[in-house]
Structure 1
Amino acid sequence: MSMGSDSNAAARCFLDEARARLEESVGLIHHCVGQLDDAQLWWRPREGMNSIANLSLHLAGNLRQRYQVDLGGEPDIRDRFGEFTDRGATPKAELLRRFDIAVAGAIERLDALAPEDLVGTRRTQRIAGEVEKSVLAILFQTLTHLNGHAQEILHITRMQLGDRYAFQNPDGVPPEMRSRS
């Protein structure tokens, strides 16, 4: 299917915005993780909830699966169950390294997409089984998933740090809510 110039411009705009949203979520995750120690990364608000470390492993697995496997055709080596059940002591530096490798792969794949690629379809593995989705749908779902978990990481970080949480943009935060450390 060919795309007209208006469609091409809209698709390019979407790809640019997708990259910006990816980078924004990644920046928020790094901002939060940077304020925590290893024990805080593995802390769970209660049993049955995720730790930030588990969410980091999960996001690395999800980004790799969607961008490298679904869009890039690489072999699927993901252990989704293990992302959530790991109770290990993987240190912060290693968690970030794994996450950043997945992010770099996602950015590389995203940057390689042409506007006309968005209307193509790919097979993608979901919990309910394999389905056919457009590249645009895969990107949209993956970015909203990433942002949702970035917000969850923010919430868990603020639960742990309370008044010691350092806002990313303190100028936009009312003085009574700014870090008191």
Structure 2
Amino acid sequence: MEEIKSILISKFEEIERRMQSVLEQLNDDEVNWRPNESSNSIANLIVHISGNINERVLNGILKRNIARNRDEEFEELYRTQPELLDITRDSFTIMIESIKDMSTEDWHKMQVVRNKERTHLEVLIQCAAHFSEHLGQLFYIAKMIKNTEYVTTSIPKKIKP
């Protein structure tokens, strides 16, 4: 299970890093831009991922009682770019720290997701896939907005010594 734990933590760290890289390229108006009425803004997608983490991790794994209104996550909303960076950091900290703290027994515990019992491991793997899908949407929206000024997030920034 330690290998699976390590893989999941790495995946969620990568998703968080790439989300932050997209957000850092955009201003407040750009993160709230919607291509049309039936599409989501980057702000919607970030708020939705945060809601999903609250439901699956805080409620499902940690057994807290956090209220979630999923429909509200997709309504027109306005968040600043710094707010979205904070939401992303805070949400993924919850996700990653929770995974680090999980015992082997915890991986096999069950929670109900869409009226079906699933192990915490199944839920976390589904979260990685789900967040990756939304990450692709973030890339696409950012590329539409920035055009040739968009900087890819697939190559991590080098840290200067």
TM-score by length of 1: 0.80
Match of 2:73 among 78, 83, 87: 83
In 1, Cα distance between the equivalents of 2:37 and 2:2? 43
In 2, Cα distance between the equivalents of 1:77 and 1:96? 22
Alignment-derived partner of residue 102 in structure 2: 113
Alignment-derived partner of residue 8 in structure 1: none
Query: What's the secondary structure of 1:46's corresponding residue?
Result: coil
Alignment-derived partner of residue 159 in structure 1: 144
TM-score by length of 2: 0.90
Deviation sequence 1:42-66 (CA, Å, 0-9, x none): 1112220110000010011111111
Deviation sequence 1:6-46 (CA, Å, 0-9, x none): xxxxx211111000000111111100011001111111122
Alignment-derived partner of residue 43 in structure 1: 33
Assess if the C-alpha contact under 8 Å between 1:35 and 1:165 holds in 2: yes
Query: What's the secondary structure of 1:123's corresponding residue?
Result: strand
Higher relative contact order (CA 8 A, sep 6+): 2
Query: What's the secondary structure of 1:133's corresponding residue?
Result: strand
**Larger Cα-atom Rg:** 1
Query: What's the secondary structure of 1:162's corresponding residue?
Result: helix
Alignment-derived partner of residue 13 in structure 2: 23
RMSD: 1.7
Identity of aligned residues (%): 26
Unaligned ranges ≥5, structure 1: 1-10, 172-181
Assess if the C-alpha contact under 8 Å between 1:41 and 1:52 holds in 2: yes
